[in-house]
């Protein structure tokens, strides 16, 4: 209401009002009066006598005296006291009248009646309301230079719920915080008063509607706080309708508080007891608020601690004026005395607790917790910022990437030639050199990289969703952001960085690598070490190469020597970087990366002769150990890399397998044939490498062969095409789908990945990274946590169904998914069905489409966010 007032006019009117009419104590905002009720018939019949006497207009004394040592005084002074013979009219005139009539001057006011049950609050307040209204009507009548509107509303607060006494139903009303008007009661009925009889009718309705109950002290005790509010709006007639006319508005609240008696006094039980506790609590808050308002203008006033004070905040705080009428009868005094004694006791015990050492330690403990939480918040903020900047970088780099990659690859290739990186034509080795293929081994190397932050915690955990994740999920149009935030960094994060780091490292390595003849174990190891030397200081790759690789190689190098004698071998480890891989795919270089199963001879030799270096299956399955073989790539013919996904058990770890060659049923025969027939192969330059590293109990076995083809010879197919990339792609995708299921990968991620990668040849790197990440996750992630996250994601998706599908579409959807149209929780049922059959590609396609529809279009997610980002 205050917001409607013109501030200047308020001030001027206020001062006029204060000078002439307002209370006898100018400046005092709270007026407190006491009214003594006359003895009622019952009390007279019992020959009760009043305990109090008014000795003058402002002092009451306790008639029977108190023991000398009593803490309580026997005389009390108020703004005004009214003896039992005073009429309500007199009480009004000499008491709250001035306060009440401030409303016509634009000042919010409130008048409270406080006292024990049956002390006469309702009786007094009814009279005061009527007298006030009569005076307001008179005032309006006398001031015809202004146009007035008086509105009437009434509510009660019963058990802390607000009810409209003029409303049609009993629905509790909500309190809303309006920036301009403060707390407002939503949907409260407000009636414009017509005349006197209208007012009487409304008061009668309120009386009839109010909650009453029988207590031991009052047969019709009011069990709620009642607030009758009159709002007076006025504007000067001469400005009526003018653009700059201002409306003066204020309200006066007549608050008939519920009985202040204590539960024990009214022998309360059950609902009466509950009422009593609500009443007492809100009265306590009111007391605190009034005390704080009367003491100082500054400091916190706990208006919000109860609905009563919240609703009355405008009528109590600020420039508002208040009159309180304390209703008195003899029981009240005893009650007050007891209350005071109790409060004093409470205060004493609080004081003693606060000085005890126990509270000190509690305080310390709390401070410690706060400090810890602050640190955690800081740390989390840091992590979030870091993640965000990574996303930025990655997206930034995406646009330049293709060009850069091509250029780098071209540079790299020419450099490689110059430095005789590649072996001569007949150097297809039976004894492949072993080294660490950085990008491909990026994931598996993670735990080694003790000089860098470990990434595995980023890739294998799914953080718990916050409670509000749904809103963020729903409000944020970008699925990537959502996934980044709530399901941890996507594969491109962290992995991308590792790939980037490794790319940089490997680029250096390439420069240093020389092709040498492998003479013996020692040489090999020393050569290997020498490769790593340029990386000294990096610590990561160096560590892998010098320590693990050499150690791992020792036992088998004798065997390798034999074959090395027969044929020249590229004894230098060649590091195949992601960028090279990627470039190969993009077709800028004449590279064939030969699938290692082609080199089964090599592999078998290795496996047989160096058994202890080969990871037994059970060990593989226990830890991170993994045997993979690189695919064959022939970019000269525009083919894509093919990953050997043949053995699904390698991913899902269900069955036993040997760590030797896994055959691709589609390609092995072809490749085997190619390998066996070296005449056909005739690679110009070929690099073979294999890595066997031991990482605590987790081991890897890895091999890749790289061939640089002059383009004239195609090792894979005479047509220059890989026989069936599409088929290979489908097989890879199926396995990824199974891994998604095994790792409880978020459905949003699956859907986007599925929809974005449709078999384009350039997708192969992404496929591979996804596969590796999932294999890693499969072995390390905590299933329980991620499956809970998945369940929550399904729930969130189910809630989106209503928004994204029309009723008709929904019905069609349910039918399609075999959900009974009349069954319960259809949306949830549907969300549970999504992605639940990893074998059925039609089902997967449908699931991806539904998820994409629920969260937005996949075009919003650039492919790069799923794969590696190579920034030079
Ligand atoms: N000043 C008075 N003169 C004559 N009768 C009175 C006076 N005050 C109260 N009464 C009578 O005392 C009885 C109790 O009064 P009332 O209902 O107003 O008490 P109350 O404080 O509102 O009680 P509760 O809190 O239980 O609602 C009523 O019958 C009322 O008419």
Chain-wide mean pLDDT for the chain?
61
Contacts of residue 717, Cβ cutoff 8 Å, sequence gap at least 6: 634, 637, 670, 723
Q: For residues 525 and 36, give the distance between their C-alpha atoms in angstroms, rounded to a whole number.
A: 106
**125 Cα nearest atom in ligand 1:** 18
Number of H helices, E strands in the chain: 33, 22
Query: Is the CB–ligand 1 distance for residue 115 below 6 Å?
Result: yes
Cα three-residue angle 858-859-865, rounded to 5 degrees:
80
Q: For residues 562 and 565, give the distance between their C-alpha atoms in angstroms, rounded to a whole number.
A: 5
**Residue 751 clears pLDDT 70, i.e. is over it:** yes
Q: Which string of DSSP letters, residue by residue, matches 705-774? A: EEEE--SS--SS-TTSS-TTHHHHHHHHHHHHHHHHHHHT--HHHHHHHHHH-SS-GGGHHHHHHHHHHH
The torsion region of residue 304 among left (phi > 0), alpha (psi -120 to 50) and beta comes to alpha
Q: How far is CA 465 from CA 424, 486, 866, in A?
A: 56, 6, 21
| Maximum pairwise Cα distance, the chain | 130
**Residue 305 clears pLDDT 60, i.e. is over it:** yes
Query: Is the CB–ligand 1 distance for residue 259 below 6 Å?
Result: yes
Whole-angstrom Cα Rg for the chain: 43
pLDDT of residue 254: 94
Query: Is the CB–ligand 1 distance for residue 265 below 6 Å?
Result: no
Q: Which residues of 325-358 are buried (b: 16+ CB within 10 A; e: fewer)?
A: bbbbbbbbbebbeeeeeeeeeeeeeeeeeeeeee
* Least confident stretch, 140-144, 368-372, 600-604: 600-604
CA of 223 to the centre of ligand 1 (A): 14
CA of 117 to the centre of ligand 1 (A): 8
**Are the CB atoms for 597 and 668 separated by under 8 Å?**
yes
**Residue 438 clears pLDDT 90, i.e. is over it:** no
Q: For residues 429 and 563, give the distance between their C-alpha atoms in angstroms, rounded to a whole number.
A: 8
pTM of the model: 0.41
Pocket probe mutation, ligand 1, options 42, 54, 95, 122, max atoms within 8 Å of Cβ: 122
**Are the CB atoms for 427 and 568 separated by under 8 Å?**
yes
How many CB atoms are closer than 10 A to CB 816? Answer: 11
Candidate ranges 128-132, 399-403, 520-524, 614-618; pick with highest mean pLDDT: 128-132
Please name the residue that has the structure tokens 């009814």.
126
**35 Cα nearest atom in ligand 1:** 1
Q: For residues 125 and 113, give the distance between their C-alpha atoms in angstroms, rounded to a whole number.
A: 7
pLDDT of residue 729: 85
Contacts of residue 494, Cβ cutoff 8 Å, sequence gap at least 6: 455, 458, 459
**Residue 226 clears pLDDT 60, i.e. is over it:** yes
Judged by DSSP in three states, 289 sits in helix
Query: Is the CB–ligand 1 distance for residue 218 below 6 Å?
Result: yes
Ligand 1 atom 12: the closest Cα is on which residue?
120
Mean pLDDT of 718-743: 76
Query: Is the CB–ligand 1 distance for residue 119 below 6 Å?
Result: yes
**212 Cα nearest atom in ligand 1:** 27
Strand (E) or helix (H) holding 282 = helix 270-295
**Residue 841 clears pLDDT 70, i.e. is over it:** yes
The torsion region of residue 658 among left (phi > 0), alpha (psi -120 to 50) and beta comes to beta
Q: What is the DSSP letter of 782?
A: -
Q: For residues 343 and 297, give the distance between their C-alpha atoms in angstroms, rounded to a whole number.
A: 25
Judged by DSSP in three states, 3 sits in helix
H, E, C per residue of 166-230? CCCCCCCECEEEECCCEEEECCCCCEECCCHHHHHHHHHHHHHHCCEECCCCCCCEECCEEEEEE
Pocket probe mutation, ligand 1, options 120, 129, 265, max atoms within 8 Å of Cβ: 120
Ligand 1 atom 8: the closest Cα is on which residue?
120
The number of residues making up the chain comes to: 872
The verdict on whether residue 660 carries a ligand-binding annotation is no
Query: Is the CB–ligand 1 distance for residue 221 below 6 Å?
Result: yes
**Residue 439 clears pLDDT 90, i.e. is over it:** no
The verdict on whether residue 121 carries a ligand-binding annotation is yes
Mean pLDDT of 4-8: 27
Query: Is the CB–ligand 1 distance for residue 735 below 6 Å?
Result: no
Q: What are phi and psi of 94, to 5 degrees?
A: -95, -5
**Are the CB atoms for 487 and 463 separated by under 8 Å?**
yes
* Least confident stretch, 304-313, 370-379, 701-710: 701-710
Nearest Cα to 96, choosing from 183, 39, 7, 35? 35
Give, rounded to a whole angstrom, the gap between the first and last alpha carbons of the chain: 65
CA of 123 to the centre of ligand 1 (A): 5
Mean pLDDT of 457-467: 36
Query: Is the CB–ligand 1 distance for residue 276 below 6 Å?
Result: no
Strands 626-629 and 698-708: parallel
Ligand 1 atom 11: the closest Cα is on which residue?
120
Q: Residue 467 corresponds to which tokens in the numbers above?
A: 């409670």
**Residue 101 clears pLDDT 50, i.e. is over it:** yes
Q: Which string of DSSP letters, residue by residue, matches 339-354? A: HHHHHHHHHHHHHHHH
**Are the CB atoms for 151 and 230 separated by under 8 Å?**
yes
Please indicate whether residue 679 or residue 215 has the higher confidence score (pLDDT).
215
Q: Which residues of 822-845 are buried (b: 16+ CB within 10 A; e: fewer)?
A: eeeebbbbbbebbbeebeeeebbe
**Residue 673 clears pLDDT 70, i.e. is over it:** no
**Are the CB atoms for 520 and 557 separated by under 8 Å?**
yes
Nearest Cα to 473, choosing from 834, 866, 796, 801? 796
**Are the CB atoms for 378 and 557 separated by under 8 Å?**
no
**Residue 653 clears pLDDT 80, i.e. is over it:** no
Mean pLDDT of 733-746: 88
* C-alpha dihedral sign at 817, 822, 823, 824: positive
Nearest Cα to 24, choosing from 94, 87, 88, 77? 94
Query: Is the CB–ligand 1 distance for residue 90 below 6 Å?
Result: no
Strand (E) or helix (H) holding 237 = none
Nearest Cα to 132, choosing from 204, 15, 13, 229? 229
Question: Would you place residue 462 in the very low, low, confident or very high pLDDT band (cuts 50, 70, 90)?
Answer: very low
Q: For residues 34 and 321, give the distance between their C-alpha atoms in angstroms, rounded to a whole number.
A: 17
CA of 322 to the centre of ligand 1 (A): 22
Strands 221-222 and 225-236: unpaired
Check: complex ipTM more than 0.95: yes
Mean pLDDT of 675-704: 34
**Are the CB atoms for 741 and 735 separated by under 8 Å?**
no
pLDDT tens digit sequence for 233-262: 888 776 666 555 677 888 999 999 887 654
**115 Cα nearest atom in ligand 1:** 21
Candidate ranges 283-297, 389-403, 661-675, 718-732; pick with highest mean pLDDT: 283-297
pLDDT of residue 393: 67
pLDDT of residue 189: 92
Q: For residues 510 and 531, give the distance between their C-alpha atoms in angstroms, rounded to a whole number.
A: 9
**Residue 630 clears pLDDT 50, i.e. is over it:** no
Q: Residue 87 corresponds to which tokens in the numbers above?
A: 């009429």
């Amino acid at each position: 209401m205050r917001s409607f007032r013109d501030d200047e006019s308020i001030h001027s009117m206020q001062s006029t009002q204060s000078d002439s009419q307002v209370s006898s104590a100018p400046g005092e905002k709270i007026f407190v009066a006491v009214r003594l009720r006359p003895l009622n018939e019952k009390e007279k019949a019992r020959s009760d006598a009043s305990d109090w006497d008014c000795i003058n207009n402002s002092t009451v004394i306790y008639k029977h005296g108190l023991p000398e040592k009593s803490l309580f005084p026997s005389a009390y002074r108020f703004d005004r006291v009214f003896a039992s013979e005073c009429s309500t009219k007199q009480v009004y005139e000499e008491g709250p009248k001035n306060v009440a009539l401030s409303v016509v001057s634009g000042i919010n006011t409130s008048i409270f009646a406080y006292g024990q049950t049956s002390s006469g609050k309702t009786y007094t307040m009814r009279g005061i309301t009527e007298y006030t209204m009569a005076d307001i009507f008179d005032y309006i009548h006398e001031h015809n230079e202004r146009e007035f509107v008086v509105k009437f509303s009434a509510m009660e607060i019963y058990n802390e719920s607000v009810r409209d006494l003029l409303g049609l139903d009993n629905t509790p009303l909500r309190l809303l915080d309006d920036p301009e008007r403060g707390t407002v009661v939503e949907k409260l009925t407000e009636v414009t008063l017509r005349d006197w009889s209208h007012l009487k009718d409304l008061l009668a309705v309120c009386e009839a509607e109010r909650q009453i109950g029988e207590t031991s002290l009052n047969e019709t005790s009011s069990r709620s706080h009642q607030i009758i509010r009159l709002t007076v709006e006025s504007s000067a007639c001469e400005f009526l309708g003018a653009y700059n006319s201002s409306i003066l508005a204020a309200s006066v609240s007549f608050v008939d508080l519920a009985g202040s008696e204590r539960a024990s006094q009214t022998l309360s039980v059950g609902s009466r007891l509950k009422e009593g506790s609500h009443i007492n609590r809100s009265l306590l808050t009111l007391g605190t608020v009034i005390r704080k308002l009367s003491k100082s203008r500054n400091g916190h006033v706990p208006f919000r601690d109860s609905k009563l004070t919240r609703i009355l905040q405008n009528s109590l705080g600020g420039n508002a004026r208040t009159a309180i009428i304390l209703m008195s009868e003899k029981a009240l005094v005893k009650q007050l005395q007891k209350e005071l004694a109790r409060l004093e006791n409470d205060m004493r015990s609080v004081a003693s607790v606060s000085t005890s050492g126990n509270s000190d330690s509690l305080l310390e403990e709390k401070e410690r917790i706060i400090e810890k939480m602050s640190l955690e918040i800081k740390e989390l903020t840091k992590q979030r910022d870091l993640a965000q900047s990574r996303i930025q970088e990655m997206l930034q780099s995406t646009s330049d990437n293709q060009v850069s990659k091509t250029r780098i690859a071209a540079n790299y290739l020419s450099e490689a030639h110059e430095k005789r990186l590649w072996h001569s034509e007949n150097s297809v080795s039976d004894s492949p050199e072993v080294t660490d293929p950085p990008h491909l081994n990026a994931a598996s190397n993670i735990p080694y990289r003790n000089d860098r932050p470990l990434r595995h915690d980023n890739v294998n955990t799914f953080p718990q969703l916050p409670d509000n994740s749904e809103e963020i999920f729903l409000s944020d149009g970008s699925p990537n952001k959502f996934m980044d935030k709530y399901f941890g960094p996507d594969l491109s994060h962290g992995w991308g960085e590792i790939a980037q780091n490794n790319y940089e490292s490997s680029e250096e390595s390439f420069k240093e690598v020389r092709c040498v003849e492998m003479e013996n174990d020692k040489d090999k190891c020393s050569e290997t070490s020498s490769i790593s030397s340029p990386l000294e200081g990096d610590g990561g790759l160096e560590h892998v190469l010098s320590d693990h690789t050499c150690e791992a190689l020792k036992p088998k190098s004798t065997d390798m020597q034999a074959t090395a004698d027969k044929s020249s071998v590229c004894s230098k480890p060649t590091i195949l970087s992601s960028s090279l891989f990627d470039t190969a795919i993009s077709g800028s270089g004449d590279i064939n990366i030969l699938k290692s199963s082609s080199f089964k001879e090599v592999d078998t030799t290795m496996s047989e002769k160096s058994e202890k270096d080969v990871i037994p299956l059970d060990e593989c399955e226990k830890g991170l150990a993994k045997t993979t073989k690189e695919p064959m790539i022939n970019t000269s013919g525009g083919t894509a890399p093919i990953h050997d996904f043949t053995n699904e058990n390698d991913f899902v770890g269900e069955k036993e397998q040997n760590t030797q060659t896994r055959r691709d049923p589609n390609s092995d025969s072809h490749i085997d044939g190619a390998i066996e027939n070296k005449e056909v192969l005739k690679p110009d330059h070929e690099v073979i490498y294999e890595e066997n590293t031991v990482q605590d109990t987790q081991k890897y076995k890895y091999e890749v062969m790289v061939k640089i083809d002059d383009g004239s010879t195609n090792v894979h197919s005479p047509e220059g095409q890989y026989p069936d990339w599409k088929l290979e792609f489908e097989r890879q995708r199926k396995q990824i789908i199974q891994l998604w299921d095994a790792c409880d990968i978020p459905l949003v991620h699956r859907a986007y990945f599925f929809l974005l990668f449709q078999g384009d040849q350039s997708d192969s790197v992404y496929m591979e990274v996804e596969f590796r990440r999932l294999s890693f996750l499969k072995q390390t992630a905590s299933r329980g946590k991620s499956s809970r996250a998945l369940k929550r994601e399904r729930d969130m998706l189910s809630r989106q169904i209503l928004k994204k599908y029309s009723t008709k579409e929904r019905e069609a959807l349910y039918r399609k998914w075999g959900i009974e149209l009349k069954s319960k929780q259809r949306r949830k049922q549907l969300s549970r069905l999504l992605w639940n059959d990893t074998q059925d590609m039609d089902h997967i396609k449908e699931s991806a489409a539904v998820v994409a529809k629920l969260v937005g279009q996949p075009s919003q997610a650039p492919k790069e966010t799923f794969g590696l980002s190579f920034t030079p």
